[in-house]
Amino acid sequence: MSLYGVMRTGVSGMNAQSNKLSTVSDNIANVNTTGYKRASTEFSSLILKSGSGNYDSGAVETTVRYAISDAGNYHFTTSTTDLAVQGNGFFVVQDANGNNFLTRAGAFVPDETGNLVNTAGFQLMGYNIANGAVPNVAANGFGGLQVINVNQMALQAAPSTKATVAANLDPSATAIAAPAGPANYTSKTSMVTYDNIGNAVTLDVYAAKTGANTWDIQVYNGATALTTPGPATTFTFDVTATGKGKLAAASPTALSVAIPGGSAAFNIDMSAMTQVAAAFDFKATVDGNAPSAVEKVNIDDKGIVTAVLKNGTTLPSFQIALATVPSPDHLTPEVGNVYSPNLESGNVQVGLAGQGGLGTVKSGALEDSNVDLADELTSMIEAQRGFTANSKSFQTGADLLDVVVNLKR
């Protein structure tokens, strides 16, 4: 046995306990940090080969591990842009230099330009789904992601391109001569649509019964009949036991007209129209909107960011991306409570909430730190006692070395 070895072993023990105390200090300091993941110091022994009847003391080394995969508790807030991931996955964020990271810290707010940023200044990333676009997800990378900006949703006009109609035509109505129009109709209703710059355009829909189970339908803008480049405007109904008053198999199921000021055809889906023993009824769901300011932003569990305009229109504009890695606990922690992938964590897999094993997005909630303060205080005392004990072994070795040095005196 070497007295120098005893002293080196004591120093190794003190250094290991110092490392443990460092992680404990970090955990306690971040006990209230949103999305923080607890660090812990693990010990492993270094043993030297010893001869028969002789023991050479070794040392101890430490490894820092992070409980990244352990979710913290959730608490609820009044802000719809405060977000938490329920289940597996991380938010994808970007720094000022365009570098992407993963995080569970979801306290996002709009900055001066409308970008959603968290308290560390990282911007939330997602896919643009405005005007019905489909997210272009690159499963093994961050391609196609954009910074989510709520200001882009304001004062935007969307032209009307389609309508879905649920209507019933009264079979007891008296047949009249076709064609349907302002001076010749059985039933009349109107729809509000929007042109390219958001002007409201009222379309009048005239229906004229021209025979048994046969109706002529025409769409007007004021006193002018709109052209119908699509199917014919004569609709027929099947009133047999099979059809039960629905459109006949040979009947057209839609109209296509050109809205004044609109660049695209406006398609009216009539497939749900019926002729049953009830009064005339007409309900239509029309897309498009007039320019309006954003009143609030809603985010659902799929991560779809929807702007609610002051005129009541809702505009789905972005879908938040979630990402994961095969071994989350091996991610590299970075400044700002974010993580970056490495060889041990595996490659990043990007997807959408609720798909491919990823969790869902909870709006109006934040994930707390997963630090247990009682455990950390206990670990602090353990590290303190361990450090003191190792210092005693060092001091004892030093005292024995003094005895050996003073033997000659």
pLDDT above 60: residue 1: no
pTM for this entry: 0.69
Query: Which one, of 243, 250, 299, lies nearest residue 274 by Cα?
Result: 243
pLDDT value of residue 231: 56
244-267: pLDDT as tens digits: 999 999 999 998 888 888 777 889
276-314: pLDDT as tens digits: 999 999 999 998 888 877 788 899 999 999 988 777 778
- When pLDDT is cut at 50, 70 and 90, the band that residue 58 belongs to is confident
Mean pLDDT of the region 320-341: 94
pLDDT above 90: residue 156: no
- When pLDDT is cut at 50, 70 and 90, the band that residue 409 belongs to is low
Mean pLDDT of the region 353-367: 93
Angle at 130 between CA 126 and CA 132, to 5 degrees: 115
Mean pLDDT of the region 36-52: 84
pLDDT value of residue 91: 96
pLDDT value of residue 230: 52
Phi, psi values for residue 23, rounded to 5°: -65, -40
pLDDT value of residue 74: 94
